[in-house]
């Protein structure tokens, strides 16, 4: 029954998911928002709130399952998912995003992983959701700021080196000509 989540996850923002595979005393830990929830009823309220807030803030939002991996040795099911979205502000600033064929090519995405811990009764007694980090996001913050400054045009290409001072966490710019 837990494997049905692969069919339900893509409809998370459009339909009410099935919560019958959770135990009534399920423990849900959301490491993205740093929230811990105990109980199936509270979990239903939490997921419903997330869904409504996301539908309001993102005119286009969809979830897709990247892969699902049941591991029988430790009794877990690992679900990798991706949320594709266009924010409300972005859609208002770019009216072309109202056209579906234009919008679908310019979606932003957010990847995550949910680990379901399945008990002997076949019900989920614990679930943990966390964000997966892409290789692009593993680059140091200083390099990301340098790339942004060059893309915006504040600094010419290759003209800045950002150094982070560990003692006071300030950002220095060294110009090379």
Q: What is the pLDDT of residues 11-27, one digit of tens each?
A: 888 898 889 999 999 99
| Per-residue model confidence as pLDDT tens digits over 74-85 | 999 999 999 999
Return the ∠ at Cα 91 (arms to 86 and 95), rounded to 5°.
140
Looking at the chain, which residues constitute the CATH 3.10.450.50 domain(s)?
2-133
Cα(114)–Cα(80) distance, integer angstroms: 6
Contacts of 168 (CB under 8 A, 6+ apart): none
Select the highest-mean-pLDDT range: 14-23, 36-45, 50-59: 36-45
CB atoms within 10 A of CB 38: 12
**Average confidence (pLDDT) over 147-172:** 52
Q: Is 156 helix (H, G, I), strand (E, B) or coil?
A: coil
Q: Which two tokens stand for residue 160?
A: 């800045």
Q: Is the pLDDT of residue 119 over 80?
A: yes
> Whole-model pTM?
0.71
Q: Encoding tokens for residue 125?
A: 């007694």
Extract the tokens encoding 50.
């997330």
Specify the CATH class of 2-133 in words.
alpha beta
Taking a C-beta distance cutoff of 8 angstroms, is the pair 51, 12 a contact? yes
Walk across the sheet containing 22-30 and list its strands.
35-38, 22-30, 124-131, 108-118, 76-86, 60-71
């Amino acid at each position: 029954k837990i494997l049905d989540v692969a069919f339900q996850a893509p409809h998370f923002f459009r339909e009410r998911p099935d919560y019958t595979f959770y135990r009534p005393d399920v423990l849900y830990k959301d490491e993205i928002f740093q929230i811990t929830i105990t109980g199936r009823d509270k979990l239903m309220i939490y997921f419903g709130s997330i869904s409504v807030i996301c539908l309001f803030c993102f005119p286009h939002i969809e979830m897709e399952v990247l892969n699902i991996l049941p591991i029988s040795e430790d009794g877990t099911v690992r679900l990798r998912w991706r949320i594709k979205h266009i924010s409300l502000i972005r859609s208002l600033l770019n009216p072309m995003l109202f056209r579906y064929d234009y919008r679908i090519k310019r979606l932003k995405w957010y990847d995550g992983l949910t680990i379901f811990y399945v008990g002997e009764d076949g019900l989920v007694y614990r679930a943990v959701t966390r964000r997966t980090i892409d290789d692009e996001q593993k680059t140091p913050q200083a390099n990301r700021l340098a790339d942004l400054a060059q893309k915006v045009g504040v600094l010419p290409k290759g003209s800045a080196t950002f150094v982070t001072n560990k003692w006071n966490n300030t950002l220095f710019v060294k110009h090379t000509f």
